[in-house]
Amino acid sequence: MRVLAWTLRIVLFLALFLFALKNTDTVSLRLYFDQVWQAPLILVLLVFFAAGAAMGVLATLVTVFRQRRDIARLQRELRSRPRDADPGPPVADGDIDSLPEI
């Protein structure tokens, strides 16, 4: 399985490397106020790919921090519960019908 994974990685790297070599032509990005930025096409693609990936990571950070806060709150509640609290009636193995629905 490891050999297959490394083979796929090498093939993907070579495909992207050959794509980069074929797209070295200079392109012009026309910005605001008549500014022009000239760079190789592959560099422009790399910059926009990295910017998109960064925006995706930033978009998920809100959810991650909310989940961490909820987990910390639930752990505090769990620690504050007395250990001898009644956990409820015991459930036999295979007796799924008696479990409360969530």
Domain assignment present for 36:
yes
Give the pLDDT mean for 23-41: 87
Number of domains in the chain: 1
Domain assignment present for 70:
yes
Model confidence at 51: pLDDT above 90: yes
Binned at pLDDT 50, 70 and 90, residue 20 comes out as: confident
Domain assignment present for 40:
yes
Q: What is the pLDDT of residue 86?
A: 60
> The domain containing residue 60 runs over which residues?
19-80
pTM above 0.75, yes or no: no
Closest to 47 (Cα-Cα) out of 36, 39, 56: 39
Domain assignment present for 7:
no
Domain assignment present for 91:
no
Q: What is the pLDDT of residue 69?
A: 95
Q: What is the pLDDT of residue 80?
A: 87
